[in-house]
Structure 1
Amino acid sequence: MSSFPPSGPPQPTTLRQRLADLRGPAVPPRPLDARALAALAANPGCGRRALLDGAGVDKTALASALGSPAAFGQSQFAMIRGNSFEAKVKGDGGAELLRLVHAHLGAGAEAPTRGALVPDLGAAGPEGRAARTALALREATAAAAWTLLDHPMLALEVAGSPAYLEPDAVVVHPDGRWTVVEIKSFPMIDGTADAAKAGAAARQSAVYVLALERIAAVLTGATVAHSALLVCPKDFSNLPTAAVLDIRKQRSVTARQLARLTRVEELAAELPEGLSFDPARPAEELTEAVEAVDAAYAPECLASCELAFHCRERSRAADAAGALGRSIRGELGALTTVGAALAAAAGAGAPGDPTAEALYRAARLRAEALEFSAVRSDPLPEAVACPC
């Protein structure tokens, strides 16, 4: 009689093991940051990005392996300049940074002194750092004193998986308010920053605010400000200046969009066994793996997603209407391809479809307008031409 126990049914694969298999056995997980979360929230219908980001897949390496490398990113010079400016702003115990916070958002409180608190947030691993940050926020709120948290670690659950975020700084006011500070190296000319860059900073700050609200919800007297402080170089100098960002709209939109994201385990459960996004695999296998997950490409993805060029190529090949933009795709309704929209404009749309009828009327009006314009542009006959 055998002394070995019966083997029994195979044990189910845990979610962590499944995500590790998707990344590849030798590929470490790539952590989510606020920039990626803001882009993910802007396109919650893209299951491809939700799964890849949730699994920690390196989309930059994946895009290169697919033959469509990402063509955006920050240069090394810009990173060095940004780090140098941030060090200048936080120098001398954060005195200049606290002065800017008090000047713009510290009404009713005494000005911070050089003795402001700057707690040590060092700990082992992102989980340890997040726990240490939560403790520092609790202690600073109880102390009722100006406190600067330099690069705290915040945790936020996204699509069923934890994401660890690291803002540039969080300032605790004496009245218990917590303010997110974003330090950027692009200039603020005459007190105004570039609208697109300031908007991106506001969306990132909104993600940090959502993570801070989870901590503040269990503390008495703690509130998270829905106004962030953007610190940039003044004009063309290296002197810091600041502006207040009202992020109430970005915060509500981001919270709503993140809540709409499909959970990672649901997306992973729909994939066949053995599928992997390991960049070391052949391009043909990777293409099949990527195409197994639904995407929602739009031209806006080109500025925020490493796989945008690959998705654009596939979207164009499929004649998808989404390649024309989210607003146009939304207006076309059931017409999901460019060919279907052109056919509707030519009068071959489905009877009773209001979108097809509207396209047909618009095409007729355009043709009539072009015909009228062509008649008006014809040269006058010589008999009635102006003698001058």
Structure 2
Amino acid sequence: MTEFIPPGTRYFDLPSPFPMKRGGELRGARVAYETWGTLSPGGDNAILILTGLSPDAHAASNAGNPEPGWWEAMVGPGKPIDTGRWFVVCVNALGSCKGSTGPASPHPATGQPYALDFPALSIEDGARAAAHVVDALGIRRLACLVGNSMGGMTALALLWQRPGIARTHINISGAARALPFSIAIRSLQREAIRLDPEWNGGRYDDAHYPESGMRMARKLGVITYRSALEWDGRFGRVRLDSDRADDEPFGLEFEVESYLEAHARRFVRHFDPNSYMFMSRSMDWFDLGDYCSPHCGDHATDVHGALAALGRSGLEKALAIGVHTDILFPLQQQEEIAEGLRAGGCDATFLPLPSPQGHDAFLVDFERFGPAVRGFLDGLG
């Protein structure tokens, strides 16, 4: 088991012990983060970015690491999140294998990776960890809290825990609760890993790594991150050239199969399987409606609880962006976020975008997402 930490990463040591929502605690835990720009004397020009499941803290190139980041087109001087104006912080999620403490990190009592001895991880744990970084950096109040995908969930949890921690919020392809379809997909991903003999109850190493399980899990993920419209437009029914076709019976035959295989192979051994399991399950567990009083309704069957919980955010203004072709975090979830925030007195806007690229659109469709984010931030006083 290996941690995959980009150069230039900085760390904040969490309070020890750090209690976890579902029981247990972490000792000697840390959170990885990176920054861009300069914090104003009043500490009021800060933007916090909370990420999806797999990204590290390196959202964009900076002095500590000149390599392009996972959101390079969005963060930097003159870009939609303009580091000439804003002090930008990106935090690697708690539970990850990319700098923040997670199942691949050494257990302080044994020096060996936590593996399945890592405490049950919740979205709320990651939110509390991120809040500690904000406080440590001397940020009086965030000018804007930005959350993408899983980070959108974490952002909402943070706003519940610390109402008023941010003046504004951009929620991108996020959700206030996990839906059954998304839970089902993530359950299959975890099952693929668990059924790989090399997973060995979470006790594997570089020589015995559940590569097949991780490949299958990643393929399932990639299929849902994009849309049927994009798959059809990019690949159609094009077959592989004879010299590239898989000679195995029932092997790779179509271009789309080859794409998924290549994508999966780039991912395996660059992300810890146990981290994948813990973080995936944390999303399934998340339901902001759990914090609402019982009169709000049956949280398993309606959205009343989540909508009511959103009302205590303390936000002045918000933007919830979604994509018509997103099947993993469907458009209705971003509309619900805007509705709930408005009910609490926030000036919240719901922006549905017609991108063909599904859930991953915010990582690739910068022609649509760039102007939306820039316009919102430019409008802040």
Q: What is the TM-score normalised by the length of structure 1?
A: 0.26
Q: What is the TM-score normalised by the length of structure 2?
A: 0.26
- Structure number with higher helix proportion: 1
